Amino acid sequence: MEILLVLVWLGCGLAAGSIAGVNGRSGCGGFLIGVLLGPIGLAIVLLMGISPEHAKALDALSMNKRACPSCREMIAFDAKICAFCRTAFSEEQVQEAIEDRAFRRKLQLRNLMLGVGSLLIVLLILLFASR
């Protein structure tokens, strides 16, 4: 029974860490909260929601925009010249921004799947422990 409790707490830590990472918060901090507080820590991480910076970045991704490295204004991903500060970008910089966007989307999906998987494992352990 003790090993089951340890597995549940570790599962809560994994789920909380990956959910925190997906939401733009510290994954290590989420893991620690989940391990130390168990299901309560998992609930806390879920209630914390998305960080404001991460929400802005997600909006930019959904609108196919990126921040200009010079003035930080939002411009199109494939823009060759910033409409605000008139900084010119090479073809390599534009291609790098497009690849970075694809990588971030894959990473976000992987983290989300890890969080959902960890949460399902915790729920299965709890289900079998109650029998």
Write the pLDDT tens digit of every residue in 28-79.
Answer: 999 999 999 988 998 888 888 878 887 777 666 666 788 888 898 888 878 8
- For range 89-96, the mean pLDDT: 87
| Percent of the chain surpassing pLDDT 90 | 11
Per-residue confidence (pLDDT) for residue 12, from 0 to 100: 86
Rounded to whole angstroms, how far apart are CA atoms 16 and 115?
7
Domain boundaries, the chain: 2-129
Tell me the Ramachandran region of residue 87: left when phi exceeds 0, alpha when psi lies from -120 to 50, beta otherwise: beta
Q: What is the mean pLDDT of the chain?
A: 82
Per-residue pLDDT band for 107 (boundaries 50, 70, 90) equals confident
